[in-house]
Chain A
Amino acid sequence: MAGQIIIGGLAAGSLYALAALGLILIFKTSDIVNFAQGEMAMLITFISFTFLTVTKLPYFVSFLLSLVIAFIFGMAVERIFMRPVQKAPILNQIILTFGLYMVFRGVAGIIWGYTPVGFPEALPNKHFNYVGITITINQIFIFVVTTILMLGFYLFFKHTKIGLAMRASSQNIATAKLMGIGVSSVFTRTWGISAILGGIAGILIAPVTFLDPNMMGEVGIKAFAAAILGGFTSLPGAIVGGLLIGVFEGLIAGYVSSELKSVFVFALIILVLYVKPTGILGEKITKKV
């Protein structure tokens, strides 16, 4: 039983980690916590669903098309809403993303309604049994995708000039400009990429949570938890945080109480933050204003 709980927990945890990657990317570059990340993912998933059902495109075509739209959408959100508050206090930025969260959710409700619909899985549904532990091919797929994305971004930040420019911009905007970095376009692109990440997350999560405007509610919160636990600046931290939360809540649900699993998760986070205020893999943020 414990084995299966851990596998289930890892599966749920990789969803949280996947949803957390976009959050971390934005925070790492522009120092903004995007509370609308989940709702952006939801919108993109709806768009993908529209491609699938209305225009009847094949799965991977609609997947890719919606990611293109995601990129444009993310950049538009940055240009229209986030750029004016780049220098505003943290609270204003947080509230602005909350405003976006409400509007996106409301608009999705108006357009697509609130009745949940099923969403197809990436790969044909198959599962494996090994010493009494069951795992589906899609769970493995999500885990692999998350890991590849994380690794990809790790290499991107470490070894490409644009990745380096993103990190530099996040540390000191004025000096980054003196290096010739077009900081504004870096931020814009970051939001585009984050929206893509969100889109991938949404499309892979939708078969599990089903598709409706509230689909990212719980996953979104757990993604925040994962990001915070992992340190909010670290991509591997998101994976560690997500998997930890998934397994931890699985164990609590299995052995203590399924209704209180979230309470325990939050208690764990507060405990971790109390011991290490920057999260497990977080770095101390030293920022020049």
Chain B
Amino acid sequence: MKIKRLQILFISILLLGYPLLVGFSSYFIYVAGLFIIYAIMAMSLNLLTGFGGQISIGHAAFLAIGAYTTAILTLKLGLPFWLNLPLSGVITAIVGFLIGLPAVRLSGHFLAIATLAFGLAIPEIMLKWEGLTGGFAGLFIEKPSLFSSDTSFYYFTTVIALIITWLILNLLKGNFGRAFVAIRESEIAAEAMGVNVSLYKTLMFSISAFFTGIAGSLYAYFVGFISPHDFNMNISLIVLAMIVLGGLASITGSILGAFILTIIPQVADRFPGFTITITGAALILTILFLPNGLISLFNYKWKRKKTENKQLSLEG
């Protein structure tokens, strides 16, 4: 746990110093900002999938809801940004709760497909619901006047990301975290331990959606333009890939995964058509050779834990 804290402290110092490193280049700051937003999303998905064992292949839909909530609240109601950010989270959480309700009854592949369906349906609804979402034309969002430049908004995003990381880490340490892991390991056993499985599963969806909604809100401000194209199934897949690549049930792993999969397209964009192949190959190699994700290269603790697990499984 200590190592994890220090890693995160270190990452945060680096993120805060990063604009100086790259000489405030707008491109590098933009890419780093995207990375941070994806890292938030990856962490919240990891909460649901890595810690809670609930697969979601439709998480981009939550990002979309967060982004559109911010855009619509800003453009139609003129709400200020300090209100939009939490509201986007809350509204996405409510949707997450509603999605969580039927999802409670499903598990494994069935849940995967149900969330896939959700992820495909939301952009189509956004497209159709022109009056509210601008449909195909998309919506432009001005950055809040307080953080109107890329750099200042980058810092704001970093701070929000750090707060969310802290919240998630604390959440995992508490009763919530234990209940999540118990459900992942065995729903029946969790039920026997007195965990209200359906309640916690629904809550997991809501909490994960809440943070993803906030990421969506930041996305809308940061990119400055949203359209249904931004939230297709590929995004959901990439974010899922991030948490697997980095390491399931690892917060630093999510950050690492988000980093790598934001960077690959930027590095590979000069080699036409190879992005998808390289990303896919990275996924395959990780699963085959580092099933605990890249973070397992960093975490020395992991090895010890693995042998412990083995002993446990033998005894059981």
Which residues of chain A have a CB within 8 Å of any CB of chain B?
Answer: 27, 33, 81, 84-85, 88, 90-92, 94-96, 98-107, 109-110, 221, 224-225, 228, 232, 257, 259-260, 262-263, 265-267, 269-270, 273-274, 277-279
Q: Point out the residue from B49, B110, B128, B275 that lies within 8 Å of A91, measured CB to CB.
A: B49
B60 within 8 A of A: no
Q: Which residues, 55 to 73 on B, are CB-close (under 8 Å) to A?
A: 55
Are B291 and A107 in contact, CB atoms less than 8 angstroms apart?
Answer: no
Q: Point out the residue from A92, A105, A279 that lies within 8 Å of B287, measured CB to CB.
A: A92
Are A96 and B113 in contact, CB atoms less than 8 angstroms apart?
Answer: no
Which of B17-25, B81-89, B114-122, B149-157 lines the interface with chain A? B114-122
User: What total count of A-B pairs have CB within 8 Å?
Assistant: 125
Are A106 and B276 in contact, CB atoms less than 8 angstroms apart?
Answer: yes
Closest to B284 in A: A99
Complex-state Cα separation, A92 to B286, whole angstroms? 10
Are A102 and B283 in contact, CB atoms less than 8 angstroms apart?
Answer: yes
Are B287 and A273 in contact, CB atoms less than 8 angstroms apart?
Answer: no
Q: Point out the residue from B105, B108, B276, B287 that lies within 8 Å of A96, measured CB to CB.
A: B287
User: What is the minimal beta-carbon distance from B266 to any residue of chain A, in angstroms?
Assistant: 17
User: What is the minimal beta-carbon distance from A262 to any residue of chain B, in angstroms?
Assistant: 6
Closest to B125 in A: A263
Are A106 and B274 in contact, CB atoms less than 8 angstroms apart?
Answer: yes
Are B121 and A102 in contact, CB atoms less than 8 angstroms apart?
Answer: no
Q: Point out the residue from A106, A109, A110, A259 that lies within 8 Å of B124, measured CB to CB.
A: A259
B307 within 8 A of A: no
Q: Point out the residue from B110, B124, B273, B280 that lies within 8 Å of A100, measured CB to CB.
A: B280
Are B106 and A273 in contact, CB atoms less than 8 angstroms apart?
Answer: yes
Are A85 and B113 in contact, CB atoms less than 8 angstroms apart?
Answer: no
Complex-state Cα separation, A85 to B116, whole angstroms? 23
Using Cβ atoms and an 8 Å threshold, which residues of chain A touch B109? 27, 33, 90, 94, 232
Q: Which residues, 240 to 292 on B, are CB-close (under 8 Å) to A?
A: 240-241, 244, 248, 273-284, 287-288, 291
Complex-state Cα separation, A274 to B72, whole angstroms? 31
Are A94 and B112 in contact, CB atoms less than 8 angstroms apart?
Answer: yes
Are A95 and B106 in contact, CB atoms less than 8 angstroms apart?
Answer: no
Complex-state Cα separation, A270 to B118, whole angstroms? 9
Using Cβ atoms and an 8 Å threshold, which residues of chain A touch B276? 102-103, 105-106, 109
Closest to A98 in B: B237
Q: Which residues, 33 to 86 on B, are CB-close (under 8 Å) to A?
A: 49, 55
26 A-B pairs in the complex with CB atoms less than 8 angstroms apart: A81-B288, A88-B287, A88-B291, A90-B109, A91-B49, A91-B244, A91-B248, A92-B291, A94-B112, A96-B288, A98-B283, A99-B280, A102-B276, A105-B280, A106-B273, A106-B278, A109-B273, A109-B276, A224-B116, A225-B117, A228-B113, A228-B114, A263-B124, A269-B117, A274-B102, A277-B110
